[in-house]
Amino acid sequence: MNDKKKLTPLRSEKVLIVDDCRIMRDYLRQMLLEMGFSRFVEAENAEETFERYQTEKPNIVFLDIMLDEEDGLAVFEQLLARDANAKVAIISAHSTADNVKKAMSLGAKGFLVKPFQPKKLFVTLKNMGCEFIG
């Protein structure tokens, strides 16, 4: 991706970033900013995730598979129980075949392995229904 040319989404999606690591949330937010996103909500754990999802109504969610003492896939299942149309991509440093298979079978729109590159994030966003110009 050309650093001098920003891709701008046609819509103004709100993104919920769920990760217990502040550095990872910052990293993902910075990549998304460079792709033209500007509306972000963050959460560090399951409780914050459900609260922010309900109050902020994000269009897309990036959810870490391993939160402090919480299973991100269980959080994903609970999100889907609350909103079957939730657009969620899983992020993880632990990309075992079982984790990827389970996430995708639950309906994840993507699985990003940390540290991921902008191109992979871009493909995942397109799979989530984001349209880009530029």
Q: CB of 53 within 8 A of CB of 87? A: no
Q: What is the pLDDT along the chain (134 residues), one digit of tens a residue?
A: 455 455 554 468 999 999 999 999 999 999 999 898 999 999 999 999 999 999 999 999 999 999 988 899 999 999 999 999 999 999 998 778 888 899 999 999 999 999 899 999 999 999 998 887 76
Give the contacts of 21 (CB within 8 A, at least 6 positions apart). 64
CA 66 to chain centre: 13
Q: CB of 109 within 8 A of CB of 124? A: yes
The pTM score is 0.89
The residue type at 88: V
CA distances from 55 to 22, 49, 51, 58, 88 (A): 21, 10, 6, 9, 17
Pick the closest to residue 74 from 88, 60, 85 (CA basis): 88
Residue 81, exposed/middle/buried by CB under 10 A (0-12, 13-18, 19+)? Answer: exposed
